[in-house]
Chains A and B, each alone.
Chain A
Amino acid sequence: MSALLVVEDLQTHFSTPAGVLKAVDGVSFSIHEGEVLGLVGESGSGKSVTGYSIMGLVVPPGRIAGGKVLFRGEDLTRLQPDRLRALRGARIAMIFQDPMMTLNPVLSIGTQLIETVLAHRNISREAARKRACEVLELVGIASPDLRLASFPHQFSGGMRQRVVIAIAMLHEPDLIIADEPTTALDVTIQSQILFEVQRLRREHGTAVLWITHDLSVIAGLADRVCVMYAGSVVEQGRVDDLLDRPAHPYTRGLIQSVPSQNRPGVPLAQIDGMMPSPLELPAGCRFQPRCERADTGCLQPVEWTTLDLTRGVRCIHPVTISSHGSRHAPSDEERPNARPAARARVLSGVMSGVMSGEPLISAHQVSKTFGKRLDWVERALRRLGAKLHEHSLSAVDLVDLHVHPGEVLGLVGESGCGKSTLARILAGIHAPSAGTLTFQGRDVAALDPAGRREFMLRCQMVFQDPFGSLNPRLRVRDLIGEGPRVHGLWSAKEFEQRLDALMLLVGLEPAMKWRFPHQFSGGQRQRIAIARALAVEPALLVCDEAVSALDVSIQAQVLNLFMQLRASLGLTYIFISHDLGVVGHLADRVMVMYLGRVVESGPCDEVFATPNHPYTRALLAQVPRLDLRRQDYTSIKGEIPSPLDPPPGCRFHTRCAQAMPRCRTEPPVLRKLTDARLSACHLNDARVAA
Chain B
Amino acid sequence: MLLLIVLVATFAPLIAPQNPYDLNAIDIADARRAPGQVKMSKKAEIGLQISLGDASNPSKAVRATRISRDDYVPSDAIAVTAEPIAAAAGGRTWRLSITPTQGGPLDPPDQIRISGLPRNAALSAGERPRFGGVWRLQASDLAGLRLELPSDSGEAGFRLELTGGAERPLIRYWLGTDDQGRDMLSAIMMGLRISMLVAISSVVIALSLGTVLGLIAAYQGGRTDALIMRLVDLQMSFPTILVALILLALIGQGIGNVILALVIVQWALYARIARGAAMAEMGKEYVESARSLGFGAGRIILVHILPNCMPSLMVIATLEIAHAISLEATLSFLGLGVPITEPSLGLLVANGFQYLLSGYPWISLLPGIALLITVLAINLVGDELRDILNPRLNR
Contact = CB atoms under 8 A, between A and B. Distances in A.
B98 to A, nearest CB: 82
A424 B288 contact: yes
Contacts of B395: 518
Interface stretch (A224-232, A466-474, A500-508, A681-689): A466-474
B70 interface: no
Contacts of A470: 286
A456 B288 CA distance: 12
Contacts of A463: 285, 288-289
Interface in A464-523: 464-465, 468-474, 482-483, 486-487, 518
Contacts, number: 58
Contacts of A486: 293-295, 299
A163 to B, nearest CB: 28
Contact of B393 (A457, A464, A472): A472
B308 A460 contact: no
A576 interface: no
B217 to A, nearest CB: 16
B304 interface: yes
A453 interface: yes
Contact of A473 (B284, B295, B307): B307
A607 interface: no
Given A468-B284, A486-B299, A456 B293 contact: yes
B286 A482 contact: no
Range of interface residues on chain A? Answer: 20 to 34
A429 interface: yes
B294 A468 contact: no
A213 interface: no
A468 B286 contact: yes
Nearest to B295: A486
Contact of A465 (B285, B291, B295): B285
Nearest to A464: B285
B288 A473 contact: no
Interface string B264-296: 000000000000000000001110111111110
Contacts of A482: 293, 295, 303
Contacts of B294: 453, 456-457, 483, 486-487, 536
Nearest to B296: A486
Contact of A461 (B284, B289, B299, B308): B289
A532 interface: yes
A469 B292 contact: no
A471 B291 contact: no
A469 B284 CA distance: 7
Contact of B308 (A428, A457, A471, A532): A471
Interface string B289-316: 1111111000100011001100000000
Range of interface residues on chain B? Answer: 20 to 34
B392 interface: yes
Q: Choose among A456, A465, A470, A473 the residue with the greatest number of B CB atoms under 10 Å from its CB.
A: A473
A456 B292 CA distance: 6
A427 interface: yes
B306 to A, nearest CB: 10
Nearest to A483: B293
A622 B392 CA distance: 41
B308 A427 contact: no
Q: Choose among B289, B290, B295, B308 the residue with the greatest number of A CB atoms under 10 Å from its CB.
A: B289
Given A468-B284, A468-B285, A518-B392, A473 B292 contact: no
Q: Choose among B292, B294, B295, B395 the residue with the greatest number of A CB atoms under 10 Å from its CB.
A: B292
A456 to B, nearest CB: 5
Contact of A469 (B289, B295, B308): B289
B295 A428 contact: no
Interface string B216-234: 0000000000100000000
A205 to B, nearest CB: 42
Contacts of B304: 471
Nearest to A428: B292
Given A486-B299, A518-B392, A429 B293 contact: no
Contacts of A464: 285
Nearest to A460: B292
A466 B68 CA distance: 89
A459 B294 CA distance: 11
B350 to A, nearest CB: 46
Interface in A506-549: 518, 529, 532, 536
A511 to B, nearest CB: 21
A474 B306 CA distance: 12
Interface string B376-394: 0000000000000000110
Given A471-B304, A518-B392, A518-B395, A536 B286 contact: no
A532 B292 CA distance: 11
Contacts of B293: 456-457, 460, 482-483, 486, 532, 536
A463 B282 CA distance: 15
A429 B288 CA distance: 7
Nearest to B395: A518
B292 A429 contact: yes
Contacts of A518: 392, 395
Contacts of A427: 292
Q: Choose among B286, B307, B308 the residue with the greatest number of A CB atoms under 10 Å from its CB.
A: B286
Nearest to B286: A471
Interface in A313-368: none
B126 to A, nearest CB: 83
A278 B288 CA distance: 34
Contacts of B303: 474, 482
Nearest to A486: B295
Nearest to B393: A472
A155 to B, nearest CB: 23
A424 B226 CA distance: 27
18 contacts: A429-B288, A429-B291, A456-B292, A457-B294, A460-B293, A461-B292, A463-B285, A463-B288, A469-B284, A471-B286, A471-B304, A482-B293, A482-B295, A483-B293, A486-B294, A486-B295, A487-B294, A536-B294
Given A427-B292, A461-B292, 14 more contacts: A424-B288, A460-B292, A468-B284, A468-B286, A471-B290, A471-B308, A474-B303, A482-B293, A483-B293, A483-B294, A486-B294, A487-B294, A518-B392, A536-B294
